[in-house]
A and B are shown apart, each in its own frame.
Chain A
Amino acid sequence: MQTLSEDDKRFLERKALAARKNVLRLITAGGAGHVGGALSIIDTITALYFKVMRVDPQNPQDPNRDRFILSAGHKCLAIYSVLAEAGFFQKDLLDTYGQINSKLPGHPDMHKIPGVESNTGALGHGLSIGVGMALGLAMDKRADGPKVYVAMGDGELAEGSNWEAAAAASHHKLDNLMVFADRNGLQISGDTVDVMSYEPLEDRWAAFGWSVRTIDGHDMHTIVETITSMPFEKGKPSCVILNTIKAKGLSFAEGKASYHYWKATPEELEMARKDLAAIEERLAQ
């Protein structure tokens, strides 16, 4: 387990702010995108790339790297923003979002951009892919072998294929695998528990043989401490349920299902810039 110093915490918060600014840059370029979920998961992805994962932007195919899969691929604004911030590609690319043949499609494509590990978008695929990676990497029996992280949306959990993968992960004792269930509570049609309830979510994962912890998905201290406690139990895959706020950071959009996909007006973009400037001011203190 890794405990963050106050300086480290502040460093990660600044990186998360920079990533949110990149999200805004993408939206400004493309005019629209799945911003709600991107901003609920972006703090965890920031922590992964800047504090936890063994990755090298200069050698993105290193066989010994840790893997991150964004199963809820529509949240790609988050991974693009963090990868750009981490130096996997030039930030200029962010301005191509929405253009013909952009290397940053509305769902990530591993063959278009370094750092992306899988082509997600159709929901309910990422965990199976992650189980396969974890199994393949575990076979190599390296000391301090790579770890696999999979981020899923809470609406996505209705897909039955996830639960096939969840069963396989515990059956094969994949303690090099961690899932993040991004419980922002909203999906496109409204409250996730009203659309198709997944509660009690902790019990579900536990019943599938996972070791489960629930945390505040916007608190860097807790996020890093929790992720670096992997595996929570030897021989079991780890599940982190992230209590998050959809569109976190944009005051006018937070906690609103209507910002699952945001067609940004100029006025909203201006409000968003002000919101992020306010966060910047707070972090500068």
Chain B
Amino acid sequence: MTDLRDPRKTFGEALVAVGEKNDRVVALSADSSSGSGMSPFHDRFPERHFEFGIMEQGIAGISAGMASTGKIPFFVAIAPFVTSRPFEMVRNDMGYMRQNVKVVGRCGGMTYADLGPTHQSLEDVAIVRTIPGFTVVNPGCPIEIVKATHAITDHVGPVYMRLGGPKMPVLFDEDYDFQLGKGVTMQDGKDVTLVGTGTVLSKAHAAAAILEKKGISVRLINIHTIKPLDKELLIKAARETKAIVTVEEHYIAGGLGSAIAEVLVEVCPVRMKMIGVDDQFASNGPYEELLGLYGLQAEQIAETVEAFLA
């Protein structure tokens, strides 16, 4: 039986844990605490939880100001509302000012499948990773969410962490060694490297299993930190497998695949295929079906890889 866990609840519990360890951690809510899993933090540390209502531009700047006084603000809301809406504040007040703010975009990608593109976020990784000094983290399993929450609290500097919404399968053990900026080889292989991240890491993982059954040797890499990118691991994979396929619940423009291509095209150009959403606003409907519209289900990923290698 697959162990499925709610990413927001998982994050919320982790936030309480880092709050216990570090009294400088504060939570900032844009009328989004309960939806972001921050109710337990609010209940445990009411004096360190601040509600502002729906004003994400304001909160982005407020977070930076609080960070300048030594606090470690977590600014958490629906992904587009903490990234594309207040982008200039994220860029200038956190990035340019180098402030120690942790921006967490929950229900990223197409989580709000039925609500449509206003609430979906398929460009957040692309835009935030252009900001110098920002770290961009995209955990792919509940265990990773917990480890990442601790790691970004300890890391000094602005961070964007992207979370999904639907329950996620557990892919790693509790003692899994998570390090910011270090990719994880989940399975070795020689015919192709499949690189997954975030909400669809589990789909890439399942696709790798399908391909193995068909006799295709897949190296599966989890890139939970898109910036800074684990260049060494990816260059090695490119050299050894000669083909890379990336899988992300994000626009192809500017996401994980782009980030990897930017490195490989200069150092070790190999054939690449990027699986994600192409140049369109995504549609609406049930989440799993929506993933299927853009080729992000495991069987589809496996078929794409097979066709790519043929």
Interface residues of A (CB under 8 A from B): 63, 109-111, 117-119, 121-122, 124-125, 127-137, 139-140, 160-161, 164-165, 167-168, 171-172
Contacts and interface: CB of A to CB of B under 8 A. Distances in A.
Nearest to A167: B55
Interface in B45-91: 47-48, 50, 52-53, 55, 57-71, 73, 88-89
A110 to B, nearest CB: 6
Q: Classify the secondary structure of B's interface with A.
A: helix
B97 interface: yes
Contacts of B67: 132, 136
18 contacts: A63-B69, A117-B68, A118-B97, A125-B61, A125-B93, A128-B59, A128-B89, A130-B65, A131-B61, A131-B65, A133-B69, A135-B62, A135-B66, A136-B67, A136-B68, A168-B52, A168-B58, A171-B53
Contacts of A140: 69
Contact of B64 (A121, A132, A168, A171): A132
Contacts of A172: 50
Contact of A129 (B48, B61, B88): B61
Contact of B65 (A110, A122, A132): A132
Contact of B63 (A110, A125, A132, A137): A132
A129 B55 contact: no
B304 interface: no
B302 to A, nearest CB: 46
A122 to B, nearest CB: 6
Interface of B: 26, 47-48, 50, 52-53, 55, 57-71, 73, 88-89, 92-93, 96-98
Q: Classify the secondary structure of A's interface with B.
A: helix
Contacts of B57: 124, 128, 160-161, 164
Contacts of B88: 122, 125
Most A-side CB within 10 Å, residue of B55, B61, B89, B98 = B61
Nearest to A172: B50
Contacts of A134: 65
B68 A133 contact: yes
Most B-side CB within 10 Å, residue of A63, A117, A136, A160 = A136
B62 to A, nearest CB: 4
Nearest to A132: B65
Contact of B92 (A63, A125, A167): A125
A128 B69 contact: no
Contacts of B68: 117-118, 129, 132-133, 136
Nearest to B62: A132
Contacts of A121: 92
A127 B89 CA distance: 12
Contacts of B89: 125, 128, 161
